[in-house]
Amino acid sequence: MNDGFETCCPFCAETIPAAAKICPRCRQWISLRSFRNPVVGLVITLFALFVVGGCVAFFFTHAFSRISNPPPYYADHVGSLQILQSKMFFKETTNGPRIYITGILTNRSQIPWRDIEFECRFLETNGNLIDADTSRSYSTVQANDDSAFRLTVTPIQDLQEYENLKLSISNARNVKSFF
Ligand SMILES: [Zn+2]
């Protein structure tokens, strides 16, 4: 190494030209600035696989989601299902007390909905919230039609505390959805 144009091979310590990409003696790749260097090639290949794999995974996840739960979504049609009437009944069963809620729903949209998710709020006489639950009706409400429903809730308070019910629809699924 008597001038700046020579260097040592880090693998075999042979004096080699500073610009050498491959050591002339041991054939090791010196430069990473070449696509022909197997290390560089491997890194580029792995990166490309990672990007392509990510795109494929994203595509399939998205496609599966569209197939299993296709639009339109209830979130974009909030208010198209309305509760016309609802009533609570209390009953002692062999598994303990139960609250049954029966009512009638109407569908004011052109989209048939099913798996209707209800949010049930139970209030005591002075209006305080004493219990709440989410319950689902698996029946289908056709477009511009009515449908009766029944929900079952397991109470956590004494039954005589349940004075009032506030029922709202939190979600529903398009009948074209799979699951
Ligand atoms: Zn070498």
Q: What is the pLDDT of residues 8-55, one digit of tens each?
A: 999 999 999 988 999 999 999 988 888 888 899 999 999 999 999 999
**Tens digit of each residue's pLDDT (9 = 90 or more) over 140-164:** 999 999 999 999 999 999 999 999 9
Rounded to an integer, what distance in angstroms lies between the CA atom of residue 82 and that of residue 86? 11
For residue 15, how far is its CA from the centre of ligand 1 (angstroms)?
8
Average pLDDT over residues 71-99: 94
- Domain 74-174 carries which CATH code? 2.60.40.10
Every domain of the chain and the residues it spans: 6-68, 74-174
Residue 22 Cα to ligand 1 middle (Å) = 8
What is the reported pTM? 0.66
- The alpha carbon of 46 and the centre of ligand 1 are apart by a number of angstroms equal to 27
In this predicted structure, the answer to whether residue 78 has a pLDDT above a threshold of 90 is yes
Ligand 1 center–CA 11 separation, angstroms: 5
